Chains A and B, each alone.
Chain A
Amino acid sequence: MTLDGAPIEALPGDTVAAAVLAHSGKAFRTTAHETPRAAYCMMGVCFECLLEIDGKANVQGCMTVAEDGMVVRRQNGLRRLNGDTDE
């Protein structure tokens, strides 16, 4: 899969959040106030793992099974209404 354009790997069955964590312990996103956040609960409760996955914004990475060729992007700052990343 790719994360912000760079290739990353996952094993079959891994969630996207697990793959992103295995790649680096860095932030998954920044909040509206620009503070960094990363996956916290890994069980669908906290919504800290929100990522853009295959063009869809605000997807829970910990509840999404990784698939070959997925395009994953970190989300920075406020979401725009059309779902685009804020760049």
Chain B
Amino acid sequence: MAAASSAARGGLRVLLLDEQPRAGGQIYRDFALNAGRKAYLGKEYLAGRALVDGLDVANVRQEFGASVWRLEPGSRVVWSQDGVSRVSTAPHVLLAGGAQERPTPFPGWTLPGVMSAGAAQVLMKNAGLLPRDAVLAGSGPLLYLIAAQMIDAGAPPKALVETQSMRSLIGASRHLPRALLAAPTLIKGLGMIRKIKRAGVPRFTGASGFVATQTATGDLSLSFNSAARTRTLVTPLVLMHQGVVPSTHMSRASGVKHVWNDVQKAYQPVTDQWGGTDVPGLHIAGDGAGIGGADAAKAAGELAALNILHRLDRLSEDKRNQRAAGPLADLRQAMAIRPFLDAAYAPIPELSDPVGDTIVCRCEEISAEAIRTAHRSGAQGPRQVKTATRAGMGPCQGRMCDLTVRGILISCGAEATVPRARTPIKPVKLGELAALAPSQEA
């Protein structure tokens, strides 16, 4: 959103494609639906107004419900809307696909009633549906935010089961001096934790050994170990979260070089300070280039737009650099807290490297043991695991298992290369493909 309006202000014509039904992205999802209502979404949510309104200019054409499923060199973008695919061409393309939640495989995570914590937040934003008596489990700043939003909405979680331990927090504290640069974010975080305490939500920390089973009445029974005891909570809804990771299907399928970020425990594209990639004409900004949060995403979008304006001769190098000073400072400030957050709320091993019959690939119902067996039979990388087991071949195309397959391969001593992603990166009906004629270029 920030990139589109910056580029339009600089004189460019912009086509904005978003698969959501309305503007807002993840944080400001459905802003137009909620503006002025749902105070429980918090003050930060209101910051979405400027971004959403900024798109309302003549140079920006906005298409929603528009899923991009292919990107070709020379910047042909293929997208699907209402069952029809179209091709758009542009000298420059900016990918800003954001993040997804990290998959959290544990025994029972495929049961109806187990959802990602983000899903509950989407339901609050999209439909005003409030989770009742839910158990929030996992770790990360988003877990506290969602707990606080649930409390403010009058539907506090039944319990907060946190995977991080005192040890990880103490280990992370060496990053605190730098994190102090982002003091407002830290203070906001502490405020959320205070709110959770005040609301009397029971908290369990250092939790591990998660197992969910269905009870006779249709509820879920979630057991885990915390403080050297096994606990069991009965709840209609388990909301699990282990942080967010870049959505990289589009960038990987476009041929951009990717690397493993061992601090954030995720794959990410290689970008320069403007978001430029090794694919000509292709920039990437926001969480899709590495997790930085909303403020970092906005700054990165502005930087990418400035660089694109420069490449199109709308802005001299000097002007670009001058104008970049503000967003660069914003970006630096927003990123200051990341090393602390990444260390304090790192994913726990059992969820990145599950064992036994825990389902890893939800689509094809492939277990952790099946992947270990494939490795024992000679599968050395993600591609061979896929061929041997079908893990990653279902409709989600590995979004829910790529990271787990990597975790298991690494634990088996294999070298895990970056998994491939291929177009179409979203399932497209054959009829829609067949109807895709060059005459439809728009």
Contact = CB atoms under 8 A, between A and B. Distances in A.
Given A11-B128, A41-B101, A65 B115 contact: no
B126 A41 contact: no
Contacts of B116: 40-42, 46
B122 interface: yes
B114 interface: yes
B400 A42 contact: no
B110 interface: yes
Given A37-B110, A38-B112, A39-B115, A47 B395 contact: yes
Contact of B112 (A26, A32, A45, A47): A26
Most B Cβ at <10 Å: residue of A21, A28, A42, A62: A42
A43 B395 contact: no
A36 B67 CA distance: 27
A21 B127 CA distance: 10
A46 B127 contact: no
A41 B22 CA distance: 18
B237 interface: yes
A14 B122 CA distance: 11
A63 interface: yes
Contacts of A85: none
Interface in A1-49: 10-11, 13-15, 18-19, 21-22, 25-28, 31-33, 35-48
Contacts of B127: 10-11, 13-15, 18-19, 22
B122 A43 contact: yes
Given A13-B126, A43-B118, A58 B400 contact: no
A13 B112 contact: no
Contacts of A26: 112
A67 B315 CA distance: 46
A18 to B, nearest CB: 4
Contact of B365 (A35, A47, A50): A35
Nearest to A44: B19
A43 B100 contact: yes
Nearest to A11: B127
A22 B129 contact: yes
Nearest to A66: B127
A41 B19 CA distance: 15
Interface string B61-85: 0000101000000000000000100
A39 B427 CA distance: 17
Contacts of B396: 45-47
B113 A25 contact: yes
Most A Cβ at <10 Å: residue of B122, B394, B395: B122
A21 B134 CA distance: 14
A15 to B, nearest CB: 6
A45 B26 CA distance: 13
A31 B237 CA distance: 21
Contact of B113 (A10, A22, A38): A38
B122 A48 contact: no
Contacts of A37: 110, 112, 362
A3 B20 CA distance: 23
Contacts of B236: 25
B30 A42 contact: no
A59 B111 CA distance: 20
Given A13-B33, A41-B101, A58 B122 contact: no
A31 B365 contact: yes
A83 to B, nearest CB: 9
Interface in B352-384: 362-363, 365
Contacts of B20: 63
B125 to A, nearest CB: 10
B112 A27 contact: yes
Interface string B387-416: 000000011100110000000000000000
A16 B428 CA distance: 19
B399 A45 contact: yes
Most A Cβ at <10 Å: residue of B30, B247, B363, B394: B363
Contact of B100 (A13, A39, A45, A58): A45
B340 to A, nearest CB: 26
Contacts of A19: 127
B115 A47 contact: no
16 contacts: A10-B127, A11-B127, A13-B33, A13-B126, A21-B129, A22-B129, A31-B365, A35-B365, A36-B111, A41-B115, A43-B100, A45-B100, A46-B396, A50-B395, A63-B19, A65-B65
Given A25-B112, A26-B112, A38-B112, 17 more contacts: A13-B126, A15-B127, A18-B129, A25-B237, A28-B112, A31-B365, A33-B365, A37-B362, A38-B115, A40-B362, A41-B118, A42-B115, A42-B122, A47-B394, A48-B362, A62-B122, A63-B65
